[in-house]
A and B are shown apart, each in its own frame.
Chain A
Amino acid sequence: MPSDILERVVADGHLEDADLLRHLDAEPALPQVVDAAAHLRGCGTCVARAEVLRRRRLALARLLADSDAEAAPLSVPKAMLSRARARERARWYASPTLRAAAVLLVAGTLAAQPAVRRWAGAQWERATTLARPARRAPVSVAPLAPAPASAIGAVLSFEPASGPFIIRFDELPAAGSLTIASDTGALATVERLGGDNPELLVTAHALHVRNTAGDTLRYRVRLPRAMARVYVRSGDAPVASDRVVDLSEREQRIDFGPPPKANSALRTIP
């Protein structure tokens, strides 16, 4: 056995854990290591150690699975699909051959009727728009500074990710309202209509209002209709019995405060 092989086998003549793990993963042994399979056939100590490592890995896999967080969306978010389609079209327009053909076509039609020139101009504008890189959703938007206390009507604007959105209050506010509107645009906004002004944290997936139970809050949140689902929570409890706000409604309002109105009743504004 060459000396470098002897060096790779640990002092007491057994394989190292790294070599055993390589063997368990069916990876080829390092050139300077003895054939692990051959060694294991004649070494009870290394067989026992390999079994310990194998069991640890299984136990780890179980622990990880048991502590995994929420499931990911099963289908492609609509916004991402639109981007892929736009990219596919942009690639078509970005082809040098097709661009050259388009230029020749435009030049040839310049002498033609004004309507044709207008059409060609519109097509060119569309092609150059699609060829521009699409604006990418930010990895994170949080935290944003709260609006000044005096700034009623202040608006925070951000680009939410696709998928569900959570509006979370630290505590159920004492009074006020939360109006949730849907919009066909890609941006979301939070507008302060009055009341107290706690700190707001905005991420691509959530709006976190760091309020106290005595606060009066009045906000209007406008979200892209494509998001479809909005959860409104106080701490971890749903604020309204309807817990999920349906953005197919044009505008919905949650009133905070004591009866006679049902506490935090969700109603649709016609």
Chain B
Amino acid sequence: MKSLRCVCILTIYLLMGQALSAQAPPGATVHGIITAGGSPLPGVSIVVKGTTQGTTTGEDGSFRLSVARNSVLVISHTGYQVQEIKVGNSDRTVNLSLTESRSDLDQIVVVGYGTRRKSEVTGAIVSVSAKAIQDVPSANLTQALQGQAAGIDIQKSGGGSHPGQSPSILIRGSRSVKAGNGPLIVVDGIPFQGNIDDINQDDVASVEVLKDASSTAIYGSRGANGVILVTTKRGRTGQKPTVSYSGYAGFTKWLGEYPMMNGPQYLELKKWATYIGNPGVYTGPDDPNLINGSFIALAPEERQGIAIGRSTDWQKLVYRTGIMTDHQVGLQGGTDNTQYAIGAGYYHELGVYPGQGFDRYTVKLSVDQKLGNFVRLGLSSLNTFTRTKGENVNPMGQALRASPLVSPYDTTGKLINGFLPGSANQVWNPLADFLPGASVENRHRLGTFNSIYIEANLWKGLKYRFNGGAEIRSDIYGNFYGKNTTNNLGVQSTATNATTETTSYTLENLLIYDKTIAEKHKINFTGLYSYQKYSTQNTTFSYSGVLSDQAQYYNPALGFNFQATNSSDNNSLRPWALISYMGRLNYTFNDKYLLTLTMRSDGSSVLAPGNKYHLFPSAAAAWNISRERFMENAGKLSSLRVRASYGQVGNPSISPYQTLGSLTTQTYNYGSTNTTGLYPNAAPNPGLGWEYTATANAGVDFGFFANRLTGSVEFYHSYTKDMIMPVTLPPTAGIPNQILTNVGKSENKGFEIHIAADIIQAKSSHEVSWSADVNFFINRGQITQLLPTLTTTLDGKPADIADKWFVGKPIGSYYDYQRTGIWQATSADSAAAKALGQTITGTKSVIGQAKIADRNHNGVIDAGDMMVVGTPQPRWEGGTTQRIAYRNFDFTLVAFARIGGMISSTLYGGGFASTMQGNYNNVNVAYWTTQNPTNAWSAATSAQTNPPNHSTFGYFDGSFLKIRSMTLGYTVPSSFVKAMGLRTVRFYATAKDPFIFFSPYRNKYHGIDPETAGTLNLDTPASWSMLFGLNVGF
């Protein structure tokens, strides 16, 4: 136990870059080389057990140490298993290979305003290592985190797969209906205002996710949705300059096509739609008058298509093979006094649709410098430039509706640059957008994020630290769509320009006091005073009728009909400021009993005067049971600790000026005199405040078999109060906007398990090793209180029908009619439908259409029959990383699963691909006909724009298991590499997103990818990639 403590303390010292000076009595000299995976390991701590005497390995992994005879050396390094070596009586050579530790309790965890050993952490924090992030070659950091940590739900927004698109992150579910559920991002200690995906994942040393209120309370008003701490790579003490390169290149393919009808199927649909939509006119779908009659809308080109058996697969024509490539160069090094890390990266991706692309250039620098014995200072600079092309390009609106009976080319073989025949002038040739210069959309983002710190040891154990952060972002957006594009359908060209500049700076003053009293009482106090000022300004305008298409959006002087709208995001200047005081006390007794008390006070500019400050308290305790005497003989149980915490945090949900009321614009003209007027649209709202979430968390950390199997289990229950709910004012109030009030409540509870296991430990590099990380988590959220003035209920509980918020149901629940089948053409069904007030003859006949349950048994189908048909909340989620190594080969598989939970798909339940009208191409379903009396899909009819109760066809089980990546790597033997003058060389091949399993939506209904945060839109299809990569260390 004692030795362990020494190691812990040492590790902390090492992390602080404090070199040890050892003064040991002569005895034996020990020297050797410490390696890991065949490569020398620098910076390994070698300490004589029971003392503070020791050293660290150099760049070549070697060390030399004089020690007393019969000493025991403790050899430890972050991320590796601790080993002990007995020295004996004489000099000795110790060459040791360290084994990677899957979960080291002495691992250093970043906790926000400091670091703690994992064994000292009292809250619920999950740590993701650089290795885990780099295991998954990804477009961005968020994607790399997917499936890696319990309680973190990361999903593609809307199912979109545009290059450069950021997934959504939910930590422990949704708690807010209006205020947002996104976490706070903190990079190198400074709140980060940019997008988390602006950070190059290769610059990241670790990611910590703070989940419970005790951990996030130090971020006070911004902690309610969890906090993601990103720590970037820094140089190490005593590290020779090392250069590394890593890179990959590969291709991206669409994961599938939307299941649309082919030519003959489409023609059949048209016939049925026309036959059913014109009751009494035709004898049946095979009536020859159908084709020749005046009701069926068949263009001559379609008739020709029928004659020659044409069946155009529009999707094949619009998709192309994309590209993904990434190159990273890094340089790291350090002396006792100066450490540095430099990195440069380039990422390039082309999507599966022309016009989509994403490039990211990053440069990263960090320097740490020691001044004298008491002062350290450092700088870190993260610079990112990204170029996104075609972020809103969505060819599906045209490609899925286009008639498969027509060709994209006219009779002379020229591309039709106009409406496609047979589309009632609604469907523009999607290929027309590919013509050079026709469709242009660019976003250039430049972000520079810089932080400095100065740390001074003022007195024994008393440390002062200043953190300063400055962030400047510019975002320049422009688009131009020519007259003849799917955007403008031949009307006139349009262009938009948008410029955003965001600045933010943070100044923090910290006092840190560390004191150990009587060896057993450890006190650590952190006091903070911080000030953050943020400002963003945006200019957005659009115009049309650009004189010269060649000018695209670059010269607004060539445009007409300028429009600029004023909203919270557009054409605005939005500053806010936050003044915070925070105090945190950590108390440890004998390393067994730990207590953390935190208090933060935030004052915010966005709240009304008199209302600006709020206090956020929290407390947490932990008990390291395995350090108790009675646990010494616990057998296979090698470590055990329990934790509990409670605290309150806020959700900074209010935008600047939101409490002030506003006027909005109203355009008008008097003849040729144009005016823009202003009228009141939002009332002042001085009472508006933050939402608060209180969380109780209990956790157990355990280790078995000498910590070969470790893990933790968390239980939590969070209560959100003062949830911001919009109140609709009576229209007679004369102020149209809703007013926000703090009245709602919601709850989330759940549990999370994380297990890491070294299933097979290799005794030597010639044996197989296998380790695995598994996480599994469940979250159950529900709204518990809505506006007290609500009069509407659902199943006896208050229900906000308009907003689809229901007490007792999760946020985002789907509210709809319950479809029990299809009304069949039987006398029984006809009578039943008639009894429910349904029309059973004529163009509005429900026969062949959705059969809706009369849930409230009032004898008619009305709004009272609607119900919560499902929720997007999964039954459970989980992820796993499996690593297998044999000789020089390594194999890594990352997978995650989301089981249960409903998705709403616009492919089937809305939108333009399932109108069943026969006007446009349709998703290929076995629709109802008199010959196919199915209960699954409604009949086609030309008399209705959409099937009645269309949305009821769009709900699916959203379960899936996704293979996130499979990587096979080969590390070139070091002897070979050394001969080439290199340090390490590894080749690998990765299949990214190759498979989706257990997805009913994909397997049974031929959807492409069920992953979505919310509704699954019809957009660029999901893709998979094959990548080939190389890592070289110089």
Instruction: Decide whether A and B are members of one complex.
Output: no
**Which positions in B face A, CB cutoff 8 Å?**
none
**Which positions in A face B, CB cutoff 8 Å?**
none
